[in-house]
Amino acid sequence: MIEFRAVTKCFDGGTVAVDELDLVAQDGEITVFVGPSGCGKTTSLRMVNRMIDPSSGVVAVDGQDVASRPAAELRRGIGYVIQQAGLFPHRSVLDNVATVPRLTGSTRRAARRRAAELLETVGLDPALADRYPAQLSGGQQQRVGVARALAADPPILLMDEPFSAVDPVVRDGLQDELLRLQDELDKTILFVTHDIDEAIRLGDAVAVLRVGGILAQYDPPQRLLAEPADDFVAEFVGKDRGYRGLSFVDSDALPVHDLPLVRLGDQPPCDGWLLAVDAGGRPRGWLEPDSGGGAVTEERLRAGGSLHRSGSPMRGALDAALSSPSGLGVVVDDGGAVVGAVVAEEVLAALRERRPGAA
Amino acid sequence: MLGGIGLYLSSPTNREKVLGLLGEHVYLAILPLLIGLAVALPLGALARRGALLRTGTVQASSVLYTVPSLALFVVMPGILGTSITSPANVVVSLAVYTTALLVRPVVDALDAVPGHVVAAAIAMGYRPARRFVAVELPLAVPVLAAGVRVASVSNISLVSVGALIGIGGLGELFTEGFQLRYPAPIVIGILLTLVLALVVDLLLVGLRRLATPWAHAGVGS
Ligand SMILES: Nc1ncnc2c1ncn2[C@@H]1O[C@H](COP(=O)(O)OP(=O)(O)O)[C@@H](O)[C@H]1O
Ligand SMILES: [Mg+2]
């Protein structure tokens, strides 16, 4: 548990970076600090591992004031990941990851063995172990950064905009990976970002800060979307928050209908919209109504919309329906095979049902 | 001309003397380079602790470098209590020059180490001394190496001046040539000094490459 108790940081020159921050980050959760540039996110994070000392107030880890612990020793028990990964350019990937175990006295051999395990944990090809950081892509560097932070198996992880410098597709992958890792590792994570979508996706709890280091709202993400504390938060959370709020609504009650299917290479059995599937039952695209006879080939298909994985939140169901050329949102199972279809009207009806006061 | 050199070098005594002087020259130039580097590193690191300290140290070092070398050689015995012909005078004087010459490159080289890498090292739990040796110093090598090369050439040429006060090195070939009104030793001295400077420079370039394999690894290899 990480506690900020009335923490203020005023830099020489008078900038108040953090103003009377009171906040508790629970064990085993991802707590996100989000806000515009200069609102004190980095400063808050760095007060946890004593890279910055507060002007007043106390930062405590498991009830103990961090100021009472020797800084270097404290830091070795707290993983830290930053934006450009901050990898040591002069050390191989493996030696970068082995850094903290080496500092805490592991032999070179043991530290490297541990490092090799971690490369696997974060999904990196072991063949990259002997490369220098400059020889990796941005996404790979960030993975190395995460592996390095995890090397000494610290209970706490501080992450300062770790994914902001990579392109959106890679960022998506890294976010997924972090959530998967967190499922396994159960760390107490403080995560800083200026991207509200990232905050909502990753956070168990989200702290929205405004410039001047003032905490505007601290709540679970669904609450942030549903009940922004003030205009600043509402604006920061941004447009589409009604839609984005669907990420937190389960789709279990949504009816799934049968879908007319045709296997690639077969004759179309009827004239309406048909979903073409491959031999494994995975969707390949839509065949328009009245598009004539003859075997169905890839060239005759229209690209499909997004897919809704069975059991995932309502947002995906609505998007699948809205983006499908036929208006039928395709539902697939974990293996990617077609299960059936959902329609937008029923998504809206299901949402209506959930509202207080619904009959 | 070439005949004169051939004749001079045909004498085994002369050959032995030239080799001996070359060895002395190397010693008198390189030892102060190492001492100067060892002093400039902590001094440069210290100078980065504050703006005032930085300007003070950098300016003091550039002023120091403008003191004429002959003057330094001559006053050094008074400071050190050594005899006027002691090689220690040259070694210490040149160490002072090397230090003066290297403080600035050390400061620049440490400035060139990316801030986020240093921040990461602090966050990993490095204490300052180990961080300096294990992270900042290796990353400072590319910029620092340029300064060391300048200092080595400067030392190799300054050692010759020592001959004026009778301290070994290839400069003695100049004094000998002037005294005997005989150009061959002078030409040999000049050529060997040039070759020496070139060889040492090449060695330093090689050393820098060895010390920075990471800076030469191809992308995506
Ligand atoms: N070392 C420092 N000295 C003076 N001001 C600083 C220092 N570090 C940060 N600040 C100021 O404190 C405020 C918060 O900075 P920071 O925590 O880095 O914000 P964020 O990470 O949210 O962008 C900014 O106004 C910034 O300029
Ligand atoms: Mg920041």
How does DSSP classify residue B134? Answer: I
**Does B116 touch chain A if contact means CB atoms closer than 8 Å?**
yes
- Strand order of the β-sheet with A261-263 is A261-263, A274-277, A283-287
At residue B219, the pLDDT reads 60
| Chain A CA closest to residue B138 | A90
CA dist B126 → A103, A146, B136, B213 (Å): 7, 18, 11, 23
Is the model's pLDDT at B220 over the cut of 60? no
DSSP characters for B141-184? HHHHHHHHHHHHHHHHHHHHHGGGGT--STHHHHHHHHHHT-HH
Please state whether beta strands A30-34 and A56-61 pair in parallel, antiparallel, or not at all (unpaired): unpaired
Is the model's pLDDT at B221 over the cut of 50? no
Confirm if A317 and A224 have CB atoms less than 8 A apart: no
Q: What is the mean pLDDT of chain B?
A: 92
Residue nearest to atom 21 of ligand 1 (CA): A42
Measure CB to CB from residue B120 to each of A73, A78, A80 and give the nearest one. A80
| Length, in residues, of chain A | 359
The Cβ-side half-sphere exposure at A330, using a 13 Å CA radius, reads 27
Test site for ligand 1: of A4, A10, A15, A161, most ligand atoms within 8 A of the Cβ: A15
| Segment B196-209, tens digit of pLDDT | 999 999 999 999 99
Residues of chain A positioned with their CB less than 8 A from the CB of B217 = 131-132, 134-135
Check if A41 has its Cβ closer than 6 Å to any atom of ligand 1: yes
Residues of chain A positioned with their CB less than 8 A from the CB of B139 = 88-90
Give me the amino acid identity at A139.
G
At residue B187, the pLDDT reads 93
Q: Which residue has the tokens 């009245």?
A: A290
What is the Rg, in whole angstroms, of the alpha carbon atoms belonging to chain B?
Answer: 21
Structural domains in chain B, CATH included, are: 2-211 (1.10.3720.10)
Residues of chain A positioned with their CB less than 8 A from the CB of B127 = 72
Quote the ligand 2 centre to A216 CA distance (angstroms). Answer: 17
Confirm if A41 and A213 have CB atoms less than 8 A apart: no
Closest by Cα among A258, A280, A265 to A341: A258
Is the model's pLDDT at B125 over the cut of 90? yes
At residue A34, the pLDDT reads 97
Is the model's pLDDT at B128 over the cut of 70? yes
For residue B163, name the pLDDT band (cuts at 50, 70, 90).
confident
Test site for ligand 1: of A16, A33, A42, most ligand atoms within 8 A of the Cβ: A42
Question: Token digits for B42?
Answer: 């902590």
| Residues flanking ion ligand 2, Cβ below 5 Å | A 42
Interface test with B, best of A45, A90, A192 (most B CBs within 10 A): A90
Rounded Cα distance, A48 and A38, in Å: 18
| Chain B CA closest to residue A81 | B120
Closest by Cα among A156, A93, A100, A101 to A122: A93
The reply to whether residue B214 touches residue A89, judged by beta carbons under 8 angstroms, is yes
| Segment B40-87, tens digit of pLDDT | 999 999 999 999 999 999 999 999 888 888 888 888 889 999 888 888
The reply to whether residue B116 touches residue A90, judged by beta carbons under 8 angstroms, is no
Check if A15 has its Cβ closer than 6 Å to any atom of ligand 1: yes
At residue A359, the pLDDT reads 59
At residue B149, the pLDDT reads 96
- Span B1-13, average pLDDT: 86
Measured at the alpha carbon of residue B79, what is the angle toward residues B75 and B83, in degrees to the nearest 5?
75
Rounded Cα distance, B19 and B112, in Å: 41
What backbone torsions phi and psi does residue A157 show, to the nearest 5 degrees? -130, 125
**Does B166 touch chain A if contact means CB atoms closer than 8 Å?**
no
| Segment A280-328, tens digit of pLDDT | 999 999 999 988 778 888 888 999 889 999 989 999 999 999 999 999 9
Phi/psi-derived region of residue A153, left when phi > 0, alpha when psi is between -120 and 50, beta in every other case = left
A246-284 per-residue burial string, b: 16 or more CB within 10 A, e: under 16: bbbbebeebebeebbebebeeebeeeebbbbbeeeeebb
Confirm if A228 and A217 have CB atoms less than 8 A apart: yes
Q: Which residue has the tokens 């707590």?
A: A31
Residue nearest to atom 26 of ligand 1 (CA): A38
Sign of the dihedral through C-alpha A286, A292, A296, A299 = negative
Q: Is the pLDDT higher at A272 or at A6?
A: A6
Closest by Cα among B102, B106, B103 to B143: B106
At residue A243, the pLDDT reads 86
Please state whether beta strands A205-210 and A214-219 pair in parallel, antiparallel, or not at all (unpaired): antiparallel
**Does B133 touch chain A if contact means CB atoms closer than 8 Å?**
no
**Does A82 touch chain B if contact means CB atoms closer than 8 Å?**
yes
At residue A269, the pLDDT reads 84
How does DSSP classify residue B213? Answer: G
The Cβ-side half-sphere exposure at A12, using a 13 Å CA radius, reads 1
Percent of chain B topping pLDDT 90: 70
Interface test with B, best of A87, A94, A131, A132 (most B CBs within 10 A): A132
3-state secondary structure of A59: strand
Q: Which residues of A91-204 form beta strands (DSSP E)?
A: 156-160, 188-193
Give me the amino acid identity at A286.
W
Rounded Cα distance, B15 and B13, in Å: 5
Is the model's pLDDT at B191 over the cut of 90? yes
**Does A100 touch chain B if contact means CB atoms closer than 8 Å?**
yes
- Span A102-107, average pLDDT: 94
Closest by Cα among A70, A31, A11 to A189: A31
Confirm if A326 and A348 have CB atoms less than 8 A apart: no
Question: Token digits for A349?
Answer: 């009806």
Rounded Cα distance, A250 and A317, in Å: 10
Question: Token digits for A34?
Answer: 């989000």
| Segment A106-132, tens digit of pLDDT | 999 999 999 999 999 999 999 999 999
Residue nearest to atom 3 of ligand 1 (CA): A11
The Cβ-side half-sphere exposure at A72, using a 13 Å CA radius, reads 11
Confirm if A233 and A217 have CB atoms less than 8 A apart: yes
How large is the ipTM?
Answer: 0.84
Closest by Cα among A234, A345, A330 to A284: A330
3-state secondary structure of A58: strand
Is the model's pLDDT at B148 over the cut of 80? yes
Structural domains in chain A, CATH included, are: 2-247 (3.40.50.300), 261-354 (3.10.580.10)
Measured from the CA of A36, which atom of ligand 1 is nearest? 22
Measured at the alpha carbon of residue A147, what is the angle toward residues A145 and A150, in degrees to the nearest 5?
110
CA distance B63 to chain A (A): 33
Percent of chain A topping pLDDT 70: 99
CB atoms within 10 A of CB A205: 19
A:147-186 residues touching chain B, CB 8 A cutoff? 148, 158
| Segment A191-241, tens digit of pLDDT | 999 999 999 999 999 999 999 999 999 999 999 998 999 999 999 988 788
- Span A23-52, average pLDDT: 97
Rounded Cα distance, A176 and A303, in Å: 25
List all residues 6 or more positions away from A287 whose beta carbon is below 8 Å from its beta carbon.
A262, A268, A273, A274, A275, A276, A296, A300, A301, A302
Closest by Cα among A145, A150, A143 to A175: A143
The reply to whether residue B122 touches residue A99, judged by beta carbons under 8 angstroms, is no
Confirm if A114 and A106 have CB atoms less than 8 A apart: yes
Q: Is the pLDDT higher at B220 or at B25?
A: B25
Residue nearest to atom 1 of ligand 1 (CA): A11
Measured from the CA of A35, which atom of ligand 1 is nearest? 22
The reply to whether residue A134 touches residue B120, judged by beta carbons under 8 angstroms, is no
| Chain B CA closest to residue A71 | B125
For residue B1, name the pLDDT band (cuts at 50, 70, 90).
low
Rounded Cα distance, A230 and A234, in Å: 6
B:96-115 residues touching chain A, CB 8 A cutoff? 114
Ligand number, closest to the Cα atom of A11: 1
Q: What is the mean pLDDT of chain A?
A: 93
**Does B139 touch chain A if contact means CB atoms closer than 8 Å?**
yes
Q: Is the pLDDT higher at B192 or at A84?
A: B192
